[in-house]
Copies of this chain bind each other. A is one copy, B any other.
Amino acid sequence: MSLFDTHQPLLDGALKAVASRQYWSPFPELPSPKVYGETAAADGQAAVMALTGKNYPLQQPGERARVAPERSPYGVTLDIRYPQCDPAALIAAAQVAEPAWTALGPHGRIGVLLEALVRIHRRSHEIAHAVMLTTGQGPMMAFQAGGPHAQERALEAIAYAWKAMTDVPAQARWEKPQGKKPPAVLIKHFEIIGRGIGLVIGCATFPTWNTYPGLFATLATGNPAIVKPHPNAILPAALTVSILRDVLSEQGLDPNVVTLAATVDPAVTQTLATHPAVASIDFTGGNVFGQWLLAHAKQARVYAEMAGVNTIVIESTDHYAAMLRNIAFSLSLYSGQMCTTTQNILVPRQGIQTDQGHKTFAQVGHDLAAAIETWLADPKVATAVLGAVGSPDTLARIEAASKVGTTILAAKPLVHPDYPQAHVRTPTVIALEQADSAVYAHECFGPVSYLVATSSRDDAALLAQSLICEHGAMTLGVYSIDAHYIEQMISVSRRARVALSINLTQDVYVNQSASFSDYHGTGGNPSANASYTHLAFVADRFVIVQRREHV
């Protein structure tokens, strides 16, 4: 039984799910011992700890040195030493591996990738622990987002790649009538050929969730891939690359179809990104390097997710307490270090109408602060939800944020019960005026939100639109009991080309994006030029090379 046949039910499930975009989850998100095994969590943690202080077991061409740049936000010493390879050697190895990977065809490649994905899934606890330690995510988020949810995004990308590739018939008999003459007959073959090496550049916060879609899309469509993880979150990528290479080797394929480009030297990344053989780049990260890529990696198609200013507009609500609880949780989750977390909360200066009566702008701020404090009252819950702050830059931004506007809620350091060296901070909320766009019109990545007083509800809508059109956003939220106002915000979402969440007051949060159902990013505003996942994310990663001849 081929790998494709073995895993076809998984592919079929994904194809069915993306056709309806209803709820579907092949990889359980709860780390239940019944599902994952009684000792799975402990085994996964032990497997990660067994890698610390050693050379990571990966042999690749062109190794020049070993590097161990990861500094865990939890203060855990990792010292895992990854090979730093000559970029030219990685490129050359990928080019050698490419023809056989192409020749394997869609069935063969997707069989290999699904087998690898299933193995990645089995090692969810290990990868989750690697994600947690390198990113600072809380354990539950690290498991869900770093494990099953990331795997589902991978499967979604594979499913779309399959759709796009199978849309092309493998061959055709073309028979053109020619009046009284016999018809002209040609046999035509159509082959899917990758565009060339795909470079996948990961981020520090979601090293699997934001890496898998591009990685699996580029591989599925016939391209070799070089994975360049963020220097602080290499391990999750390394484990993923190792599993892929194992499956490739077992199948008699060249493992250099996928390599890891661990490096602390930006010049290495730039060399890879601008190499003529690199045909696509998947990038998640900041604007500075994202814009550098778009300007300099002209030979490649760049699929980029960058900074944005996610926004919620509060116009009115009939679920005031539930609204605040919902927003409070979404701001706290992983200390706002998600590309989907709200930064700007726009509220008309004259206050809002609620089921608890009229609330002034100041009262909304006060109540939001209280809602956040309520969520985080229990230090155990607080540290689990907040996780640790990933980078010194984010700590500096938290510090700087309190120096502008009116602080409604100040960041508070918390001591993590299990990781005393972890940098844990509660969210900061700052009140600003609409005129303070110099502050709120730029991304302040991390647990900092701005409550912005707008002149009117219409101004709030217009401001949301112009902010997102100019600076981008992955998410937009609105709270309103007025159907006309919601229509107005739907128009804003169309013009700003941003996903809109309306009146979220239950167990779904604006920063959550469900695989197979929610499109992550639209690709139509400055925060991202691509979306997880629809056909546009996969269809241009390959070309169709035809040949034709008479019968």
Residue A403, interface by CB 8 Å? no
Residue A549, interface by CB 8 Å? yes
Given the complex, which residues of B lie within 8 Å of A295, measured CB to CB?
Answer: 298
Given the complex, which residues of B lie within 8 Å of A163, measured CB to CB?
Answer: 167
Residue A119, interface by CB 8 Å? no
Q: Which of chain B's residues has its CB closest to A476's CB?
A: B547
Q: By the criterion CB–CB under 8 Å, are A21 and B190 in contact?
A: yes
Q: Which of chain B's residues has its CB closest to A469's CB?
A: B276
Instruction: State which residues 157-209 of A face B: CB under 8 Å.
Output: 163-164, 167-169, 172-178, 181, 184, 186, 188, 190-191, 193, 195
How many residues on the A side are at the interface (Cβ–Cβ under 8 A)? 67
Min CB–CB distance A475 → chain B (angstroms): 11
* Given contacts A169-B21, A535-B167, A547 and B186 within 8 Å (CB-CB): no
Min CB–CB distance A505 → chain B (angstroms): 7
Q: By the criterion CB–CB under 8 Å, are B20 and A545 in contact?
A: no
Measured CA separation A548–B501 after assembly (Å)? 5
Residue A507, interface by CB 8 Å? yes
Residue A523, interface by CB 8 Å? yes
Instruction: Sample 20 A-B pairs with CB under 8 A, ordered by A number.
Output: A21-B174, A102-B494, A164-B535, A164-B539, A172-B517, A181-B507, A195-B524, A490-B547, A499-B545, A499-B548, A500-B545, A500-B546, A500-B548, A502-B547, A504-B550, A506-B550, A508-B550, A518-B546, A524-B545, A536-B539
Closest 5 CB pairs of A and B: A524-B543, A502-B549, A536-B540, A536-B539, A535-B539
20 further A-B pairs in the complex, CB-CB below 8 A; given A164-B535, A193-B524, A500-B546: A19-B169, A22-B173, A164-B539, A168-B534, A172-B517, A188-B518, A193-B497, A493-B545, A498-B545, A499-B548, A500-B547, A502-B547, A502-B548, A504-B549, A505-B550, A508-B550, A518-B548, A522-B545, A523-B540, A536-B540
